[in-house]
Structures are given as structure tokens and as C-alpha cells.
């Protein structure tokens, strides 16, 4: 699963987003390529791998542990700046402040979302964002860039 997901992220970048991104953000292109190449490396760490395995592929001796998965997901978000949650500051008192995401990480996030279209043609980044954008805490600048780039991720991976 993990290998297929990372391949889907890289295909989304190489086949659909790389060219328009380089045209729109030439100064950020190399950083975006680097970010994509390192996508989800933390999922190979024991703290994430085991909880993900048990959650998505439970079997005898490897039962799902919802709390362990929640901790693994939180760790993953906090270690991977391609997740929008990484860029939400929680101030003392609970105020949520969206910070601007680097455009290279926005590209990685969009390719992450789009990777699922390889298995389900309806699961494009464009469709996912359309359905979930109102619950995402994004800065105005981040949202602008997301909406500028997401139009290139309407067609599923074949």
C-alpha cells in the first residue's frame, strides 16, 4: 500500500502537476521536486508503520488500535509539512491561526490527495478538495495557491 501510494504521489507530480508548477513557480520547482521525492518517509518508522498496518490491514495478532492510530496520524502530520494541519498554530487559549504553507509543500499535498485517483477515478484531488475545503484551516495565501494549482488535478491517474 505504502509503495503504491508514494508511486501515485510521484506520478501525480510527474504526469500532471510538474510542468504547470514549474511555469507558475520556477523558483520553487527544485524544492517541490525534493519534497515529492521524500513523500511520507516517516510512515516507515515503527511509530507510524505498525499503527497504520493494524488500522488498514488488521489481522490476528495485529488488531486495530484506534488510539495508536490517532497518535501515529498526529505524529505523521507533525513531521510532514505537506499536511495542512502542520501549518495551523494553536495559540494558548485555543485560537487556531493558519500559517502560509510553502508552495513546494502545497504541491506535495495536492499530489498526496490526487494519488488515490489511481485506484478510484472519482478520488481526484480536485474532487476531494471540493468536498472538504470548508473544513480545512488554510491561510488566504495557501488557499489561493491550492485553488490555482488544483485545476491541474481534475483528471484521474490512469
CA 135 vs. chain centroid, Å, equals: 15
Split at pLDDT 50, 70, 90, the class of 60 is confident
81 neighbors 120 (Cβ within 8 angstroms): no
Q: What is the spatial distance between Cα 55 and Cα 89, in angstroms, rounded to a whole number? A: 28
SS3 label, residue 8: helix
Average pLDDT, the chain: 97
Q: What is the spatial distance between Cα 50 and Cα 151, in angstroms, rounded to a whole number? A: 35
Is the confidence at residue 12, as pLDDT, over 90?
Answer: yes
Q: What is the spatial distance between Cα 98 and Cα 146, in angstroms, rounded to a whole number? A: 14
Give the up-direction half-sphere exposure of residue 153: CA atoms within 13 A in the CB hemisphere.
Answer: 35
pTM greater than the 0.85 cutoff: yes
Rg over alpha carbons for the chain, rounded to the nearest Å, is 16
Mind listing the pLDDT tens digit for each residue in 100-150? 999 999 999 999 999 999 999 999 999 999 999 999 999 999 999 999 999
Q: Report which DSSP code applies to 88.
A: E
Amino acid at each position: 500500500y505504502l509503495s503504491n501510494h508514494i508511486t501515485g504521489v510521484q506520478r501525480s507530480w510527474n504526469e500532471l502537476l510538474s510542468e504547470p508548477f514549474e511555469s507558475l513557480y520556477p523558483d520553487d520547482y527544485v524544492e517541490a521536486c525534493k519534497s515529492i521525492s521524500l513523500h511520507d518517509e516517516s510512515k516507515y518508522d515503527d511509530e507510524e508503520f505498525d499503527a497504520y498496518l493494524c488500522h488498514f490491514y488488521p489481522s490476528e495478532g495485529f488488531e486495530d488500535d484506534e488510539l495508536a492510530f490517532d497518535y501515529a496520524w498526529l505524529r505523521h502530520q507533525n513531521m510532514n509539512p505537506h499536511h495542512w494541519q502542520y501549518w495551523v498554530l494553536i495559540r494558548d487559549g485555543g485560537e487556531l491561526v493558519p500559517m502560509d504553507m510553502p508552495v513546494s509543500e502545497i504541491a506535495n499535498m495536492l499530489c498526496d490527495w490526487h494519488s488515490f485517483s489511481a485506484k478510484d477515478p472519482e478520488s481526484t484531488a480536485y474532487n476531494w478538495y471540493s468536498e472538504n475545503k470548508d473544513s480545512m484551516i488554510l491561510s488566504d495565501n495557501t488557499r489561493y495557491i491550492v485553488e490555482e494549482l488544483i485545476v491541474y488535478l481534475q483528471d484521474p491517474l490512469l
